[in-house]
Amino acid sequence: VGAATACAPSEGAVTPSLAAAAPASPGTGASASTVGAPGIGDPDFPTDGNGGYDVQHYDLRLSYDPASRKLAGSATIEAKAVQDLTSFDLDLHGLTVSRVTVDGGAASFSRSKDELVIEPGGQISNGARFEVTVDYSGVPEPMRDSANLGEYGFISTPDGAFVTCEPNGAKTWFPSNDHPSDKATYDFRITVPAGLTAIANGEMAGTPQTNAGKTTFVWREKHPMASYLATMTTGKFQIRTGTSARGLPVYVAVADNYRGSLDQLYTQTAKITDYWSTVFGPYPFSSTGGVIDDYAAGYALENQTKPIYGGFSPAPTIIAHELAHQWFGDSLTIKRWRDLWLNEGFATYAEWLWAEHTGQYTADSAFRRYYANAADPMWSYPPGTARPDDLFGAAVYNRGAMTLHALRREIGDDKFFPLIRAWTDAHRYGNVTTQEFISMAELISGKNLKSLFDAWLYEPRRPAPIP
Ligand code: ARG
Ligand code: ZN
């Protein structure tokens, strides 16, 4: 979300320069090929992710030196084949690969754009579990898309790195199946010069160890996570830890020049996470938190357990947005990017709910303020199909949130809030589609909601007013 408001400023268009045709979805068994597809089957991002296997776990050993900007890594990936494989891809942007092993044996590899193509030298059978280790190093280059997504991925800063990967920047710092439809658990072992802090997802295992001027931080995310939510943000930070009123561990870090925001970030993060757990259902992870880095990204990202705010001290509604994403985006993760309103529409609606809860303004007044502007460009952008050339368009956020409000008015609070909790419960840690949400809304309300969702999500015009 943007620094000041929920509106993602994203004017202009860029043509995606993706060469490959959309591959078959993994696991269809339709193809006799033993070559894993170079994409996982997202029609709008045809080379993102890969076919032929499903990652279970990433074990990332990383060492970063801010002075030389050099990253050295060894990534061990545990995966399960979903077809016979004589070769398969990982996604990796830049960096130099020195060695690849599959189940301990040397494997040959080649690079083609952002694909690392691996040939294990024998066939991996459909259903088999296998382990790939990739040793690599170099100066990471972030992804750059000035017309749409801006700069994202591994972004080096004077004292470390700001690491925000949505939608496909995980490949700038580790070889991955870089698409949200393949979630996995993560272990991180990150070494940085002594005096710096390395922050990743989940919880820290043990206390950081310092040896010969370097400190190693071990972090573990034991719940499934999409690659775009992984982080290894590093630098000089002030830390505050504790436990929320409802007993959840809290870890908050702010860059030195935001030290005046440490306590308010801590207090709001604890309070809002606790409140959302009464509205959306049980908090899905084992800790909550937040990071303010001094890199002026101008946006925030809902990194799992550690939302990050790029160069600004967030207002409570923004914290509420990023923490709502822990349910909508992080626990329930979209299967395809075009369903992004399931993340951003819900998180924006959460801003309105927080404003209502704290007496600033009501969700209904927010809805009516947007509705009143007949000239808003969001009326020509149906948010149910987020466009790859304008993924974070304001319509996906605001018209997405309005869709939920229209639904709430149609089915009433006594169906709407139970629906939200049933939604987070049924798909916890999984992948979701818009159709699954519509079906559940119809089931719980007992109403046919096709015309409501069509008007709000799929038609390029302003829907009729709601009662
Ligand atoms: N999901 C983020 C939010 O909280 C927005 C990320 C924007 N990403 C980017 N590459 N500019 O709204
Ligand atoms: Zn968001």
Report how far ligand 1's centroid is from the alpha carbon of 208 (Å). 30
- Non-local (6+) Cβ contacts of 433 within 8 A are 334, 335, 336, 339
Single-letter code of the amino acid located at 140: P
The pLDDT, as a whole number, for residue 17 is 32
Bridge-based pairing of strands 197-199 and 184-193 is: unpaired
pLDDT reported for residue 21: 39
Confidence at residue 147, expressed as pLDDT on a 0 to 100 scale: 87
Average pLDDT over residues 422-448: 98
The closest ligand to the CA of 302 turns out to be: 1
pLDDT tens digits for range 80-133: 999 999 999 999 999 999 999 999 999 999 999 999 999 999 999 999 999 999
Q: Whose CA is nearest to atom 10 of ligand 1?
A: 149
Residue 418 neighbours by CB under 8 Å, 6+ apart: 444
Distance of CA 302 to the CA centre of its chain: 6
For residue 144, give the 3-state DSSP assignment: strand
At residue 373, does pLDDT exceed 70?
Answer: yes
**Which residue lies with its CA nearest to atom 5 of ligand 1?**
1
**Mean pLDDT along residues 380-403:** 98
Residues in the chain: 467
Expressed in angstroms and rounded, the spacing between residue 53 Cα and the centre of ligand 1 is 28
Residue nearest atom 1 of ligand 1, based on CA coordinates:
301
Torsion on CA atoms 258, 277, 323, 200, rounded to nearest 10? 80
What mean pLDDT do residues 178-182 have? Answer: 98
Distance 82 CA to ligand 1 centre (A): 31
Tell me the mean pLDDT in the region 302-314. Answer: 98
Average predicted confidence (pLDDT) for the chain: 94
Residue with the smallest CA separation from ligand 1 atom 9 is 149
Ligand 2 centroid distance, CA of 342 (Å): 10
Residue nearest to atom 3 of ligand 1 (CA): 1
Residue with tokens 């990253």: 71
- Residue to substitute in 7, 164, 231, 301 for testing ligand 1 pocket (most ligand atoms within 8 angstroms of CB): 301
Closest atom of ligand 1 relative to the 148 alpha carbon? 11
Q: Please, are residues 263 and 271 in contact by the beta-carbon 8 Å criterion?
A: no
Ligand approaching nearest to the C-alpha of 149: 1
Residue 8 has pLDDT above 80, yes or no: no
Q: What share of the chain is helix, strand, coil (3-state, %, to 5)?
A: 25, 30, 40
Q: What is the pLDDT of residues 210-261, one digit of tens each?
A: 999 999 999 999 999 999 999 999 999 999 999 999 999 999 999 999 999 9
421 vs 16, more confident: 421
Distance CA 398, CA 393 (A): 9
Q: What tokens appear for 298 in the block? A: 């101008």
Testing ligand 1's pocket by substitution, the residue of 166, 312, 351 carrying the most ligand atoms inside 8 A of its CB is: 166
ipTM for this prediction = 0.96
pLDDT score recorded for residue 146: 83
**DSSP H or E segment with residue 73:** strand 70-81
In this model, does residue 7 exceed pLDDT 80?
no
pLDDT of 437 higher than 50: yes
Ligand nearest to the CA of 2: 1
Report how far ligand 2's centroid is from the alpha carbon of 70 (Å): 31
* 186 vs 26, more confident: 186
Closest-approaching ligand to the CA atom of 180: 1
Q: How many CA atoms lie within 13 A of 5 on its CB side?
A: 7
Nearest CA to ligand 1 atom 6: 301
Report pLDDT for 360: 98
Give the dihedral sign, CA 192/198/201/204: positive
Question: Does 13 score more than 70 pLDDT?
Answer: no
Provide, rounded to the nearest whole percent, the portion of the chain with pLDDT above 70: 93
Q: How far is the CA of 351 from the centre of ligand 2 (A)?
A: 10
Local confidence band at 6 (pLDDT 50, 70, 90 cut-offs)? very low
Give the DSSP H/E element, type plus range, for residue 44. Answer: none
30: pLDDT strictly greater than 80 = no
Structure confidence at residue 1 as a pLDDT band (50, 70, 90): confident
The ligand 1 atom nearest the CA atom of 297: 11
Instruction: Give the binding-site residues of ligand 1, using a 6 Å CB cut-off.
Output: 1, 149-150, 152, 166, 299-302, 322, 344, 392
Distance 229 CA to ligand 2 centre (A): 12
Q: How far is the CA of 394 from the centre of ligand 1 (A)?
A: 11
What is the whole-number distance in angstroms between the Cα of residue 386 and the centre of ligand 2?
Answer: 13
For residue 31, what pLDDT is reported? 54
pLDDT tens digits, 327-365: 999 999 999 999 999 999 999 999 999 999 999 999 999
Q: How far is the CA of 343 from the centre of ligand 2 (A)?
A: 6
Q: Read off the pLDDT of residues 288-305 as tens digits, 9 standing for 90 and up.
A: 999 999 999 999 999 999
Atom of ligand 1 nearest to the CA of 344: 12
